[in-house]
A and B are shown apart, each in its own frame.
Chain A
Amino acid sequence: GEDVEQSLFLSVREGDSSVINCTYTDSSSTYLYWYKQEPGAGLQLLTYIFSNMDMKQDQRLTVLLNKKDKHLSLRIADTQTGDSAIYFCAETGDSWGKLQFGSGTQVVVTP
């Protein structure tokens, strides 16, 4: 079955870049997403990438996709304290848009 894996924790200093990694197993993944979840809140879509792309940049966010290795990463430039949250990678394949989520990476930004 489908599986999405992420590292559990990342600590980064304010102003540095953060890189969050994700691997997935479903080769039919069509769209891959990054969501952010702050304490007590729902999930906020940050960005997505279509499977025929290898990079997407959106302001401070850069998504890299290595489809051969089924590896996705999210780089946050100039990380701020407001970026402290749990980040989830998710993918959807040819099914009807059902998302498969990873277990999340907790990012803690220190001053």
Chain B
Amino acid sequence: DTGVSQDPRHKITKRGQNVTFRCDPISEHNRLYWYRQTLGQGPEFLTYFQNEAQLEKSRLLSDRFSAERPKGSFSTLEIQRTEQGDSAMYLCASSLPRAGRKYGYTFGSGTRLTVV
């Protein structure tokens, strides 16, 4: 296992377009998290899944954002009608449920979104 993979690494899109990002967690990790990081800031929590169930969503996650994890393995994050304020690094992380608290998460390298 090579860790948490995110695709694409970079995405440039025009304002108003829809974009979708993919995250492949470490295979035995049943928890998966999405975070957003803007320049000069720490990551902000967006949402997380345990297996296929989406258990928590931040109020940062407007109705233009949707995340899925249909089979409890990979996850997708879709942003509809992108706005310039959506430009950020989108980070995915995974963990085991109880061990995750003790050992933290494993983060992917992120998808950098630029909305022009």
Contacts and interface: CB of A to CB of B under 8 A. Distances in A.
Nearest to B10: A40
Contacts, number: 67
B45 A100 contact: yes
A17 B57 CA distance: 40
Interface stretch (B61-69, B70-78, B79-87, B103-111): B103-111
B24 to A, nearest CB: 13
Most chain-A Cβ atoms within 10 A of its Cβ — which of B95, B104, B107? B104
Contacts of B97: 97
B48 A98 contact: yes
Contact of B42 (A4, A44, A45): A4
A92 B101 contact: yes
Most chain-B Cβ atoms within 10 A of its Cβ — which of A42, A99, A102, A103? A42
Interface string B91-116: 10101010011111111111000000
A104 B104 contact: no
Contacts of B93: 43
A31 B102 contact: yes
Contacts of B22: none
Given A42-B110, A97-B31, A97-B97, A102 B102 contact: no
Interface of A: 4, 30-31, 33, 35, 40-45, 48, 50, 88, 90, 92, 95-104
16 contacts: A41-B109, A41-B110, A42-B108, A43-B93, A43-B107, A45-B103, A45-B105, A48-B103, A48-B104, A88-B42, A96-B56, A97-B95, A97-B100, A98-B56, A101-B43, A103-B41
Interface of B: 4, 31, 33, 40-45, 48, 50, 55-56, 91, 93, 95, 97, 100-110
